[in-house]
Amino acid sequence: MTPPEAEALEAEVRRALSRVIDPEIRRPITELNMIGEVTVEAGALTVALKLTIVGCPAADTIERDVREAAASVDGVESVHVNVSVMSPEERAALTEKLRGGRPKTLQFGPDSLTRIFAISSGKGGVGKSTLTANLGVALAASGLRVGIVDADVFGFSIPGLLGVAGAKPTQVDEMILPPVAHGVKVISIGMFVEGNTAVSWRGPMLHRTLQQFLTDVYFGDLDVLLIDLPPGTGDVAISLGQLLPQAEVIVVTTPQPAAAEVAERSGLVARQTGQTVIGVIENMAGLVQPDGSVLDLFGAGGGANAAARLTTPEQPVPLLASIPLSLALRAGGDSGIPVVLGDPDDPAAVAIAAVARTLASRARGLVGKKLGLTVS
């Protein structure tokens, strides 16, 4: 093979490798400078692959994808992958590149175009986390880039609901790469504690945890960020209002009046911190019987009543959906396969998917945001 032929083959190999995506960072490995020297001699190809850290959990996947991509190029007869680890300087350059040259700061500041939906409830046990997980997966399935922050530090459940219980984030220097579940990037305090360890922290620790999730965790460019808030009107809800005042709040309740009255309080606290309440979801709205009738185990109308009480002349609050009681919804949470994927025709899945379409269609406002444009 002549030198020009070897150069042409090397260029073709690099083009093929540009299609290999890092499963954690979700960007091409060539763009992340993970490919070093590429040499070819008599059809025998050698590729230098530089992983981000020692023990990278995606190492086997990346090496396999590199090998397959390189072998797909015409003229390559054999592939050898030399695997090494980035130097500290290379890792520093990578984190700098991922941050876009910006200093470490809150990712979703006032100039961010990411839509932020905080899912709140007045009390526990209304299915708030299950709805958050399913909404995230439904939005991702529609083609959006989605992240979930499990801010329910004491009652974290998002990892189990998404089937990544036991998953650990990867840390590259001071940057944390979140696991990906069903196309959704997700972070939770449950990924940093062993087993079913209880977390018992006071307010300042809760604030720092939420702040770190929004600063150190690399989500990349998201279309939508969902935040699963703890029930009630405590420290985390107040911290979210301080950190992300532009977040739009969705209140979850069950149909009984007592639950709806408590749910209303979480919406009022959101307003006090400057956030906008954009709707109410009524969960466990009724159980469809074999004859088609509906058994209202928890009563009816609580969601509509809460929405009406939260509505003001300046800010209407609609009832976004009434989600029926569903065995498939419960089973999907237990298995880690959300019902919108596992049983999309289930009535609960259909209702959740409709809410996801409503959220996806909400336009991102540009008023007051810096667009990074200059006039010459």
pLDDT of residue 8: 87
Beta strands 44-51 and 146-150 are unpaired
Same domain, 245 and 144: yes
Write out the two tokens for 104.
Answer: 């470490």
Q: What is the CATH classification number for the domain harbouring 90?
A: 3.30.300.130
pLDDT score of 205 = 77
- DSSP-based three-state secondary structure for 28: strand
Give the pLDDT of residue 331: 95
**pLDDT tens per residue, range 196-251:** 666 666 667 787 888 888 988 999 889 999 999 988 777 788 888 888 888 999 99
80, 207, 208, 234, 236 from 201: Cα distances, Å:
50, 10, 11, 13, 11
Establish if 65 belongs to a structural domain: yes
Q: Are 169 and 239 part of one and the same domain?
A: yes
pTM: 0.82
Owner of token pair 């109308």: 301
CA 306 to mean position of chain CA atoms: 28
Q: What is the DSSP string of 256-269?
A: SHHHHHHHHHHHHH
Q: Has residue 220 been placed in a domain? A: yes
Q: How many domains are there within the chain?
A: 2
| Within-domain flag for 375 | no
- 119 with 91, same domain: the answer is no
The answer to whether residue 104 sits within a structural domain is: no
Task: Determine, yes or no, domain membership for 160.
Answer: yes
21 secondary structure, DSSP code: B
Q: Residue 101's pLDDT is what?
A: 66
Domain stop point among 98, 127, 158: 98
282 in any annotated domain: yes
Q: Which of 319, 315, 316 is nearest to 305 (CA)?
A: 319
Asked if residues 32 and 66 have their Cβ atoms less than 8 Å apart, the reply is no
Q: Of 65, 98, 131, which one is at a domain's C-terminal end?
A: 98
Q: Are residues 140 and 270 in the same domain?
A: yes
User: How is 47-104 classified by DSSP, letter by letter?
Assistant: EEEEESSTT-TTHHHHHHHHHHHHHTSTT--EEEEEEEE--HHHHHHHHHHHTTTPPS
What is d(CA 190, CA 209) in angstroms, rounded to the nearest whole number? 12
Of the three residues 73, 98, 123, the one that is the final residue of a domain is 98
User: Which residues of the chain are under the pLDDT cut of 70?
Assistant: 1, 101-103, 195-203, 363-376
Which residues form the domain of 210? 115-360
Same domain, 40 and 85: yes
Burial of 297 (0-12, 13-18, 19+ CB in 10 A): middle
pLDDT per residue over 9-26, tens digit each?
889 999 999 999 998 888
Looking at the fold, whether 125 and 217 belong to one and the same domain comes out as yes
Residue 83 lies in a domain: yes
Q: Is residue 48 a part of any domain in this protein?
A: yes
Is the domain of 33 the same as that of 167?
no
302: helix, strand or coil: helix
User: What pLDDT, on the 0 to 100 scale, is given for residue 376?
Assistant: 45
In whole angstroms, how large is the CA radius of gyration of the chain? 24
Pair (123, 148) in one structural domain: yes
Count of helices and strands (H, E) across the chain:
12, 15
353 and 273 within one domain? yes
Per-residue confidence (pLDDT) for residue 180, from 0 to 100 = 93
Q: What is the CATH number of the domain that holds 237?
A: 3.40.50.300
Strand partners, 175: 172
pLDDT in tens, 294-317: 888 888 889 999 999 999 988 999
